[in-house]
Every structure is written in C-alpha cells, then in structure tokens.
Amino acid sequence: MTYQEEFITFMVRSGVLTFGDFTTKSGRKTPYFINTGNYKTGAQAGKLGDYYAACIQENLPEGVDCLFGPAYKGIPLAVAAASSLYRNYGRDLPYCFNRKEAKDHGEGGSMVGYKPQAGDRVVIVEDVVTAGTAVRETIELFKSVAAVDLTALIVSVDRMERGTGDKTTLDELREQHGIRVFPIVTVREVIAFLHNHSIDGKVYIDDEMKGRMEAYLAEYGARA
C-alpha cells in the first residue's frame, strides 16, 4: 500500500475516521467524521508522525526552517512530525507552538519551543481544516512574533468542502494568503480506497455509504 492508503487504514483502526450520522460545528449533517482526539497512545503518535513526515518529505523536501503546531491539537502533531522527520529522513527541524494565553512571567511571550526569526520558512501542522479559523489566527499571531514566511500547511484530511464562498477552505487559504496546502489524503481518496474494501473483515464504505458521501460532496463540496 501507499503511505496514503496505510494512513486511511490507520485512521479507521484508531477510531478516528468513522461513518454514520454526525453534525459538524457549522451545522452540516455529515455521513462521516474525523476526530483526531481519538489518538491516545504512544504507538499511534509515532505512526501519525510518520505519515505527516512522509507528506512533508514528499512535498517539501527542502526549504523548511520550522514546524508550527497551533494550540491545542496541532501541538502533538508538530512534535510527532518533527521527531519522525529526524528519525526517518535525518532532518532535524525545530518546532514551536503557541500558548492560548500569553505568559506574563518568566520569559513571557506566547510561543513555546523554537523562537521563529524573521525570514524563517514556517510550515503549519494541523489536523483537519474546516473553516480555516486556526490557520487565520496563526497568520495574525505571527504578525506580532516575527516576519516569517508561512510557506505551507500540512493537514491530515482535505474534506474538500466549500469555505465562505464557492471554493474549498484550503483553496481560499491558498489564494488569500499564498500558503501552499498539502493534505496527507483527500476525502475522494478515502472513498476510492475504502469503497467495498474491507479492513479487518468490515466494509466501511459500501454502495449506500458511498452514495451518501457523494451526495454530501454534491451539496457542500467546491463549485466549479
């Protein structure tokens, strides 16, 4: 299997990628849900870092000075990705993350870990981007930290849904802020791989579920 197919299998086995009836934060009724909060073991963290690192290595083999994980879910992702990049590819990249509230004692400030410098090429490591709020907050945050180049965003799954307009949220981030976006997998790749394909003896996307997911994308997906 490709690392993308391995990642889809990993999400299913971890209980992170689930199918049924769910409601997103925006109120959309969705037949599938991705809850990265279900990752909870050291083994899972290690494997998750490997998939993020593989995506970074494939799409950004050079030109990266720092990984940034937006609080809170992005913090373990950035740490795991940095560890895996060193372990698997010999790339020792610094990482940092933000505090939700700036520290008013000790060294102070809102950043933990590496202190980004002007001109640094920073890659944001996130889980799943829906409205892009955390990414836009990160852009604002760095305006008061250093004049860095927010060069790319790595996400686990591109849901391929519309943002505030007719385009996907990730496409909006690309166009509005010049950030390159690289998902480990897209929802289309999830459908293609899991349709009538069993994992541990169970088919998660049968013809009925595929139809529901296609209908959801027809309603909420990007419009040409």
Asked if 49 and 84 count as a contact pair (C-beta separation under 8 A), the reply is yes
pLDDT 10s digits, 20-70: 999 987 788 999 999 888 999 999 999 999 999 999 999 999 999 999 999
Task: Give residue 197's identity as a one-letter amino acid code.
Answer: H
Q: Is 55 exposed, middle or buried (0-12, 13-18, 19+ CB in 10 A)?
A: buried
Rounded CA-CA distance 7/146 in Å is 34
**CA 104 from centre of chain:** 30
Q: Which of 146, 140, 92, 144 has the alpha carbon at shortest distance from 115?
A: 146
Question: What six digits make up the tokens of 60?
Answer: 């950004």
pLDDT 10s digits, 157-206: 998 988 777 888 888 888 888 899 999 999 999 999 999 999 999 999 99
Find where tokens 């997906």 sit: 221
Residue 25 among known ligand-binding residues:
yes
Residue 181 among known ligand-binding residues:
no
Q: Which of 48, 68, 64 has the alpha carbon at shortest distance from 56?
A: 64
Enumerate the active-site residues: 103, 105
Residue 120 among known ligand-binding residues:
no
Residue 131 among known ligand-binding residues:
yes
